[in-house]
Structure 1
Amino acid sequence: MRLYAQTPARRNRQVLADLIAVVLVAAAVWFALAVHEAVMRLAEPGRKVESSGDSLAAELDNAADAASEVPLVGDLLKKPLQSAADAGTGLADAGQSLQHVVSQVATLAAVALIVLPVALVLLLWLPPRLRWIRRSAGVRRLMDTPEGADLLALRALTGPLGDLAALPTPAGGLADAWRRGDPQAIADLSRAALRRAGLRP
């Protein structure tokens, strides 16, 4: 199986198309990772809220424990401080929840920014490449058959007229020479069909 054409012009176009596809995929991945990182910066306030809530809850818990030691009114003082500590814990949970949401959004955005462009590149680039690989393999198999040169000559005759313009025209024309089985005309035509497929004889 041949991945690239043997003729320089077509091979250069194929290599260029492959390089463009690789660069576009790499650019899509880089851009998606940059967007992921930028979105993740939005989680910083959530981290600060979580840290502040944890610190506040810890300090209020300590204050509630200390207040409970006060004779007679210790339990009365402890309850509001404990409620405030619970509110600090709730604040920390809200900060953690914000970070989780931001992380999910960043991941989904990155995945979408990778999958969509890569799918588009593959859709535009891969089918023509696979079609050429399959076609060139078919032309190679055809060339290796006993009547391969004759069939390739017929293929050249039924193909674009531009391929025939550069060929020497025998008396009566190329089609007549092919019908008569002229070896030179058949060889010229089969070479033209191979060139069109990007292959060498």
Structure 2
Amino acid sequence: MPLPHFYARPSWRLAGQVIADAFVVAWILLCWAGAGIVTTSIKAIATPSAIAETRLGELKKTLQDSAEKIGEVPLVGDSLSTPLADIGTEVATLQAGAHDQVEAIEQAATTIGWLIFLLPVITVILLWLPWRLRFIRSAQQLAKLNASAESRDLLALRALSTAPLKRLRHISDQPLADWRAGNAEVIDALAELELHRHGMSARRRQTEQDRLDR
């Protein structure tokens, strides 16, 4: 089985393929960078809540430590430490709320970032990939046809059916008659014309006489 042909022979078609492939790669990188910027910007909204969470955590620890120390005071320790413990509980609730807010904002930022990256990238790939795969499949099929004399006859016939008459006249004054007569030179030229039309390198098939001469 012939190897896949990812690009056309040097031509305007090759230039178009290279430009299209480069555009897709650049588009993916641009979308990735844009998504990263948006994600970072949205996460920055959570900074005040993150700072509040840290401060509330410190305050909660201070209140807990103070309540424990006051609780050690004989007789009045329990009654004095209870209000501090209650305040510590309220502070813990506020800290949990700040933590949940930070998590919600970061989750939203991540989701939005992926959407900003994936939607335009998938759209471009859905337009680009089928076009590239069509060329690869077509090139591989033509490479199979180019592998034998019988198949090159079929390539020549395709050229007779699809090529402009002006280009056929450059090959032969009577291309159809020469093809029917089995003119090897005309058949090779027609096959090359069909390969060129599909952007493939045209390589002449070695004849049996060529191999005997070597």
Q: Is the 8 A contact 2:160 2:168 kept in 1?
A: no
1:181: how far off?
4.1
**Where in structure 2 are the equivalents of 1:96-115 lying within 5 Å?**
96-115=99-118
Residue number among 9, 12, 15 corresponding to 1:9 in the alignment: 12
Q: Distance in 2 between matches of 1:165 and 1:27?
A: 46
Matching residue of 2:179: 178
- The CA deviation at 1:185 is 4.1
Matched AA of 2:62: E
Question: Shift of the alpha carbon at 1:102?
Answer: 1.7
1:196 has 2:168 as partner:
no
Q: What is the distance in 2 between the residues matched to 1:144 and 1:66?
A: 91
The residue identity in structure 2 corresponding to 1:6 is: R
Q: CA deviation at 1:183?
A: 4.5
Q: CA deviation at 1:18?
A: 0.7
Aligned-residue offset at 1:197: 1.1
- 1:55 paired to 2:66: no
Correspondence for 2:85 among 47, 63, 82 = 82
Structure 2 counterpart SS, 1:30: helix
Match of 2:119 in 1: 116
CA distance in structure 1 between the partners assigned to 2:137 and 2:73 by the alignment: 88
Give the letter for the 1:13 counterpart.
Answer: G
Q: In 2, Cα distance between the equivalents of 1:165 and 1:159?
A: 12
1:186, CA displacement in angstroms? 3.0
Alpha-carbon distance between aligned partners in 1 of 2:182 and 2:17, rounded to the nearest angstrom:
35
The share of aligned pairs that are identical, in percent, is 32
| Deviation per residue, 1:153-201 (Å, 9 max, x gap) | 211122253xx43342654x54454345455543332222111111223
Letter in 1 for 2:46: A
Which residues of 2 match residues 98-177 of structure 1 at below 5 A?
98-159=101-162, 161=164, 164-168=165-169, 170-171=172-173, 174-177=175-178
CA distance in 1, matches of 2:187, 2:28: 44
TM-score normalised over the length of structure 1 = 0.85
Alpha-carbon deviation of 1:25?
0.9
Residue-by-residue CA offset, 1:50-105 (whole Å, 9 max, x unaligned): 11211221232244345435665433332222111111111111121112112211
The number of aligned residues is 198
Tell me the amino acid that sits aligned with residue 19 of structure 2.
L
The answer as to whether partners of 2:145 and 2:151 remain within 8 angstroms in 1 is: yes
* RMSD, matched Cα: 2.3
Quote the residue 2:37 is aligned against.
Answer: 34
Structure 2: state its 5+ residue gaps.
204-214
